Amino acid sequence: MEKKRHSTLPALELISKWKVPVLLQNDVHVWFSEWPEQIRLLDYFWSILSAEEQRQAAFFLVEKVKNRYIISHGILRSLLGAYAGIQPEQIEITRNESGKPVWLNQPLHFNLSHSGDYCSMAFSELKEVGIDVEQIRELGDMEQLIQLNFSTGEQKFIYENPLEYKERFFQMWTLKESFLKATGLGMQLDPSLIELSCSDNRYELKKGRTLSDERDYKFSSFKPNALVSAALCCHADQKQILTFTID
């Protein structure tokens, strides 16, 4: 694909359809989308990507994977542009010292995740956020992953209901990943070094990198549909978490 010049009309129509609300300082907005539903906007999304993002997209040889990258990052740019009131192609996304994508010289924090046909994004004006989404599916090495990455208490949560075994695995996995992404540590930190407690739909950090982690972060778990598990990690002083779906 070649980068084309587009009028602002497609972006305005897109933003109008999504009805992007004002992001208040103490709120977190979480967006979900099945990216194949946006395939009609593939050319437009390509046109608003940066040159670096276009190079990254071209790296993918499988068309579905390439399209997922283009659409998820195009949605991300469109939402950032809507929140900030600027054209999405003007946004300069770089990486911080931990390798986490950030908007250069802007206070709007964001995070992106995708799995299978689903993508999710989180936005905050106050502090860093982490979002993770996973398509619930069979994994040949699930037992090994559980033993390597989860504490005894977390394993008990996963195993205590055999009918929800897979769902609980991905629920716990996304919760841990959301923390790693919020802190910007990613795979720099062994997931087994952090521990979460889950009871009555409450999720708390039982053991973090430091004692302050256990006070500073809070978690939310989502089930956008029966095939998807997602989780958000944000700072404890974020007052309200609002969710939206792009149809």
Q: Cα(125)–Cα(233) distance, rounded to whole angstroms?
A: 14
Provide the residue type at 94 as one letter: T
Running DSSP on this structure, what letter comes out for residue 125? S
Q: Name residue 61's amino acid.
A: L
Q: Which phi and psi angles does 139 have, rounded to 5°?
A: -130, 125
pLDDT at residue 195 greater than cutoff 90: no
Residue 104 is predicted with a pLDDT of 84
Token digits for 87? 């054209």
3-state DSSP helix/strand/coil % of the chain, to nearest 5: 45, 30, 30
Given this model, what pLDDT does residue 129 score?
A: 96
Q: Which residue has the tokens 């009555």?
A: 200
Adjacency order of strands within the sheet including 130-135: 130-135, 228-235, 217-225
């559980």: which residue's tokens? Answer: 146
- Could you name the CATH architecture of 27-246? Alpha-Beta Complex (3.90)
Question: What DSSP string runs through 114-161?
Answer: EETTEEEEEEESSS--EEEEEE----TTHHHHHHHH--HHHHHHHHS-
Quickly state the pLDDT bin for 76 (edges 50, 70, 90).
very high
Residue 57, amino acid:
A
Q: What is the pLDDT of residues 130-147, one digit of tens each?
A: 999 999 999 999 999 999
In this structure, is the dihedral angle defined by the CA atoms of residues 190, 188, 67 and 129, taken in order, positive or negative? Answer: positive
Q: Which residue type does 236 have?
A: A
- Does 198 score more than 90 pLDDT? no
φ, ψ dihedrals at 115, nearest 5° = -155, 125
Q: How many residues in total does the chain contain?
A: 247
Give pLDDT tens digits for 218-238.
999 999 999 999 999 999 989
Q: Which two tokens stand for residue 135?
A: 């398509």
At 213, the pLDDT band (50, 70, 90 cuts) reads low
Contact 103, 80 (CB under 8 A): yes
Q: Tokens at residue 105, please?
A: 């010289």
- In angstroms, the CA 244 to CA 15 distance is 13
CA 191 centroid distance within chain = 17
pLDDT of residue 6: 43
CB atoms within 10 A of CB 148: 11
**The two three-digit tokens of residue 91, written as one number:** 């946004």
